[in-house]
Amino acid sequence: MSTFKAPKGTYDLTPPDSAKYLAVREAIAAPLKNSGYGYIETPGFEDVALFSRGVGESTDIVSKEMYTLTTKGGSELALRPEGTASVLRAALEANLHKLGNLPVKLWYSGSYYRYERPQKGRYRHFSQVGAEAIGAEDPALDAELIILADQAYRSLGLRNFRILLNSLGDKECRPVYRDALQEFLRELDLDDDTRRRIELNPLRVLDDKRPEVQKQLVGAPVLRDYLCDACKAYHEEVRDLLTAEGVVYEDDEKLVRGLDYYTRTTFEFVHDGLGSQSAVGGGGRYDGLSEMIGGPALPSVGWALGVDRTVLALEAEGIELELPASTSVFAVPLGEEARRVLFAKVTELRRLGVATDFAFGGRGLKGAMKSANRSGARFTVVAGERDLAEGVVQLKDMESGEQQPVALDALVAEIQQKLA
């Protein structure tokens, strides 16, 4: 064993479990690829100011959880704690919004980093698949993204998740609500940290999970009562579109999400089988973020779904994903001549798209057959000196246990036919 271990709060993905994570990533990405979203990849670190300006100084993410570093040249960088600010920065830098086709629809997949207190479902390095639709203010776009996430989860077989939905208003109506909320919160018995938060971003106090805070929030002003007519109409349309498509959601007037840039539509996917870390994903509309990071006005909406949390949700529902065996054919050579001949056949099968593996290391028949078994291969090809002298190899069906000689020249065609 190595003297080194993965850093606290992180994890390694190793076979065979890693196949499940790959399948989850692919299932989340599939509906996006099918709906006009192009793939984008951004660096693992960015300028600190991108996040403090975009995500918000008062958020836990920026004030407590960001990994920051100073380069030799004196630049302040941060490992990315979330995806949206980076993707918007990259889209603006590449002038994607000027290509004449708005919204710019992008999807991404990667690792994110937050200095959190590690627990099941909450890690310091975690994996997400996200989607952003940049440059259009349209309730149908908000509905599209929620529907695509719903579709992704259902394609994996998940059923016990809930969609929580709220509207956070916009720059017209939110300030009025903010004032009313601050007035209410200033009267409460809260610690200094939370008091500071009241002045910076009072909506974050509503998100406080501590029972002693939640108890005092009974009777707090509700954002819904302060929405302007435009925001109300927008939110109604999002709800109508979801209902028309049979997507079930719950109105949750306390839902604020942990990032400062959200406006109007905000939503969260929660799974009740996960205990305290019940959110498997979420997102919303962020109409002012582009201007916050120095870009033009580009109303946008997006989400990120946690890959690790989704895997936990699958486990909570007892869902085993149908993963194809990584190997279809396993070749076992007995002797030098057989090694050379079978290695050529393995290469030929692989070129034809057949997943094939080989008994490396010159072990005996018993050890090699154990490897063949563990590989999950459907067929094993065994050849020794006597077989080759007769121009045949032995083809064994690992399911039925039947074995038959097959002419060496006909082997590839025979395997292709059997697998088809």
Q: Is the pLDDT of residue 294 over 80?
A: yes
| Residues 67 and 141 both lie in one domain | yes
| Residues 242 and 119 both lie in one domain | yes
Q: What is the mean pLDDT of residues 399-404?
A: 94
Of 316, 346, 376, which marks where a domain is finished? Answer: 316
Q: What is residue 192's predicted lDDT score, i.e. its pLDDT?
A: 86
CATH label of the domain that carries residue 89: 3.30.930.10
Supply 47's token pair: 């300028």
Q: In what order do the strands lie in the sheet with 76-79?
A: 45-47, 76-79, 68-70
Q: What is residue 258's predicted lDDT score, i.e. its pLDDT?
A: 59
With respect to residue 323, please indicate whether it lies within any of the assigned structural domains.
no
With respect to residue 9, please indicate whether it lies within any of the assigned structural domains.
no
Per-residue H/E/C for 356-419: EEECCCCCCHHHHHHHHHHHCCCEEEEECHHHHHCCEEEEEECCCCCEEEEEHHHHHHHHHHHH
With respect to residue 3, please indicate whether it lies within any of the assigned structural domains.
no
With respect to residue 201, please indicate whether it lies within any of the assigned structural domains.
no
Q: In what order do the strands lie in the sheet with 392-397?
A: 356-358, 329-333, 379-383, 392-397, 403-407
Q: Is the pLDDT of residue 40 over 80?
A: yes
Q: How big is the CA angle at 121 (ends 120 and 122), to the nearest 5 degrees? A: 95
Torsion angle defined by CA atoms of residues 356, 360, 363 and 367, in that order, rounded to the nearest 10 degrees: -40
CB 398 within 8 A of CB 377: yes
Q: What would the DSSP string read from start to end of 30-67?
A: HHHHTTTPEE----SEEEHHHHIIIIITTSHHHHTS--
Name the band, by pLDDT with cuts 50, 70 and 90, for residue 283: very high
Of 316, 349, 366, which marks where a domain is finished? Answer: 316
Taking alpha carbons only, the member of 25, 38, 115, 104 closest to residue 79 is 115
Instruction: Indicate the SS3 state at residue 79.
Output: strand
Q: What is residue 275's predicted lDDT score, i.e. its pLDDT?
A: 77
Name the band, by pLDDT with cuts 50, 70 and 90, for residue 116: confident
CB 139 within 8 A of CB 249: no
Supply 72's token pair: 């030799």
CB 167 within 8 A of CB 227: yes
Q: CA separation (Å) from 58 to 86, 160, 222, 340?
A: 19, 33, 21, 65
| Residues 137 and 70 both lie in one domain | yes
With respect to residue 218, please indicate whether it lies within any of the assigned structural domains.
no
List, for residues 162-219, the tens digit of each pLDDT value. 999 999 998 888 888 889 988 999 988 888 888 888 888 788 788 788 888 888 888 8
| Residues 118 and 252 both lie in one domain | yes
Taking alpha carbons only, the member of 373, 335, 356 closest to residue 412 is 356
| Residues 270 and 355 both lie in one domain | no
With respect to residue 115, please indicate whether it lies within any of the assigned structural domains.
yes
Q: Is the pLDDT of residue 61 over 80?
A: no
Q: Which residues pair with 305 in a beta bridge?
A: 129, 281
Name the band, by pLDDT with cuts 50, 70 and 90, for residue 123: confident
Residue with tokens 């690790």: 308
Q: What is residue 55's predicted lDDT score, i.e. its pLDDT?
A: 73
Name the average pLDDT for the chain: 92
| Residues 278 and 333 both lie in one domain | no
| Residues 305 and 358 both lie in one domain | no
| Residues 413 and 369 both lie in one domain | yes
With respect to residue 146, please indicate whether it lies within any of the assigned structural domains.
yes
For 183-206, b where at least 16 C-beta lie within 10 A, e where not — what string? ebbeeeebeeebeebbeebbbbbb
Q: Is the pLDDT of residue 57 over 80?
A: no
Q: What is residue 53's predicted lDDT score, i.e. its pLDDT?
A: 80
Q: Cis (ω within 30 of 0) for the bond into 296?
A: no
CA distance 266 to 286: 9
| Residues 130 and 239 both lie in one domain | yes
Percentage of the chain lying above the pLDDT 90 cut:
71
Q: What is residue 382's predicted lDDT score, i.e. its pLDDT?
A: 96
Identity at 153, one-letter amino acid code: Y
Q: What is the mean pLDDT of residues 298-319?
A: 95
Identity at 91, one-letter amino acid code: A
Runs of H (alpha helix) within 166-210: 174-186, 192-200, 203-206
Domain that holds residue 359: 329-419
| Residues 390 and 302 both lie in one domain | no
Please tell me the total count of domains within the chain: 2
| Residues 66 and 104 both lie in one domain | yes
Of 286, 316, 346, which marks where a domain is finished? Answer: 316
| Residues 166 and 298 both lie in one domain | yes
- The reported pTM is 0.89
Taking alpha carbons only, the member of 393, 352, 301 closest to residue 37 is 301
List, for residues 220-236, the tens digit of each pLDDT value. 888 889 999 999 999 99
For 69-84, b where at least 16 C-beta lie within 10 A, e where not — what string? eeeeeeeebbbbbbbb
Q: CA separation (Å) from 63 to 51, 78, 128, 298?
A: 10, 12, 22, 26
CATH label of the domain that carries residue 409: 3.40.50.800
- Highest mean pLDDT: which of 52-56, 121-125, 249-253? 249-253
Burial of 60 (0-12, 13-18, 19+ CB in 10 A): middle
With respect to residue 138, please indicate whether it lies within any of the assigned structural domains.
yes
